[in-house]
Amino acid sequence: MGKPAATDRPCLPSMSHSFTLDLVVIHPDRPMIEKCQELIAERLNGMGLELKPRKTRITHTLSQEEGEAGFNFLGFNIRQYPTRKTRLGFKTIIKPSKASVKRHQRQIAEAIDYYHLAEQTKLIRALNPIIQGWSNYFSTVCSKKIFSKVDKTLLNQLRAWSLARHPNKSRTWTKAKYWKTANGKSAFSPRHSRLRLRFHSETRIKRHAKVQGNRSPYESDWMYWSARLGQRPGVSTSIAQLLKRQQGKCPRCGLYYKVGDVLEKDHIIPKEHGGKDAYDNWQLLHRHCHDAKTAEDRRRYA
């Protein structure tokens, strides 16, 4: 056989690309939901896509009609529960889904297993981003009980990790080696290091606040958006972060800041008396409040 012509090309196998689209349709009437399902399936077919029957279901958010009530979306479980405390007779609760919790616990277990012979510091540095990232993602919903439950499992995993490394040592010995007291609480931390493991329950639950209807990020109300987001073009990062931490209030007089107010950054403990030049020692005050506090500091440290 002769050599293939320059125009001959090898046959490449056809490659198919697949992706998943999460879609939720909410309506009080079931016939309307079924009609929407038909329209969506028809529209997707025109694009060469289809709804997977295994992943598509119609359910009620309050009562159990087909399987469990409620639905999962982007790792969250959205469901309504009956109660007599509200006028409607039910309340909506959003929390991490069971599948999301299992995936997270499996990821933690894999990290602990991978570092079963490594130093404690390496294990902590591997676990902290996993725990903090997952906790921050679910910090705006009802996650407090789930955080505590996951922490309880994590504690058992860490105890098993420490005992497996020293099978001939007692529990008291391993606890003294890998645990210490910090701020009145038991911390998974090396003896002579400030590095420690951050548990899920340390993440503060903060409900998402809706944007006020008359607010727009394109307006000049930098005070509102700085206090809400902790950032705003034209506002220094430190000022924006302090506005967010203080929720737009002056800690001295308790009044909300307004556009046009003169604000000044204050050291809670004055630098000349040992105070650090850091966020933990900063607060944002009205200028007149700052002047009054400075006068008090001079009398106090005189």
Is residue 21 in a domain? no
Q: Would you say residue 245 lies in a domain? A: yes
pLDDT at res. 8: 42
pLDDT for position 15: 42
**pLDDT score recorded for residue 162:** 94
- Number of other residues whose CB lies within 10 A of the CB of residue 156: 10
Domain boundary among 45, 76, 95: 95
Do 185 and 271 fall within a single domain?
no
Given a cut of 90, whether residue 219 has pLDDT beyond it is: no
Q: Is 287 contained in some domain? A: yes
Whether 259 is covered by a domain: the verdict is yes
pLDDT band at 239 (very low <50, low <70, confident <90, very high): confident
Q: What is the pLDDT of residue 216?
A: 63
Instruction: Give which of 51, 143, 62, 153 is closest to 96, Cα–Cα.
Output: 143
Residues 62 and 105 both lie in one domain: no
84-131 tens-digit pLDDT: 888 888 888 899 999 999 999 999 999 999 999 999 999 999 999 999
In this prediction, residue 56 carries a pLDDT of 82
Quick check: 12 pLDDT over 50? no
pLDDT of residue 16: 47
Indicate if the pLDDT at residue 13 is higher than 80.
no
* Mean pLDDT along residues 128-144: 93
Among residues 47, 74, 95, the one where a domain terminates is: 95
Are 76 and 110 within one domain?
no
Mean pLDDT of 22-38: 85
Average pLDDT of the segment spanning 136-158: 94
Do 167 and 104 share a structural domain? yes
Q: Structural domain tally of the chain?
A: 3
Q: Are 38 and 31 in contact (CB under 8 A)?
A: no
Cα-flanking dihedrals φ and ψ of residue 178, to 5°? -105, -5
Same domain, 77 and 117: no
Q: Is 211 contained in some domain?
A: no
**259 pLDDT more than 80:** no
Q: pLDDT tens across 153-191, in order?
A: 999 999 999 999 999 999 999 999 999 887 778 899 998
The rounded distance, in Å, linking the Cα atoms of 169 and 155 is 19
Check whether residue 154 and residue 242 sit in a common domain.
no
Q: Which of 153-157, 183-187, 234-238, 265-269 has the lowest mean pLDDT?
A: 234-238
Is there a contact between 273 and 301 (Cβ–Cβ < 8 Å)?
yes
- Write out pLDDT tens, residues 55-89: 888 888 887 777 788 888 889 999 888 888 888 88
In terms of domains, do 104 and 195 share one? yes
Co-location of 161 and 226 in the same domain: no
| Other C-beta atoms lying within 10 Å of the C-beta of residue 62 | 17
Q: Is residue 284 part of a domain?
A: yes
The answer to whether residue 77 is domain-embedded is yes
Contact 126, 115 (CB under 8 A): yes
Question: Do 244 and 270 sit in the same domain of this protein?
Answer: yes
The pLDDT value given to residue 5: 43
Q: Quick one: 251 and 169 in the same domain?
A: no
Q: Considering the domain boundaries, does residue 53 fall inside one?
A: yes
Same domain as 269, residue 183? no
Give me the CATH number covering residue 277: 1.10.30
Highest-confidence range of 42-46, 66-70, 286-290, by mean pLDDT? 286-290
Q: How far apart are the first and last CA of the chain?
A: 102
Q: Are residues 197 and 109 in the same domain?
A: yes
Q: 98, 77 in Cβ contact below 8 A?
A: yes
Is the pLDDT reported for residue 220 higher than 60? Answer: no
Helix (H) or strand (E) holding 92: strand 90-96
Structural domain including 89 reads 30-95
Q: Which of 41, 69, 95 is the last residue of a domain?
A: 95
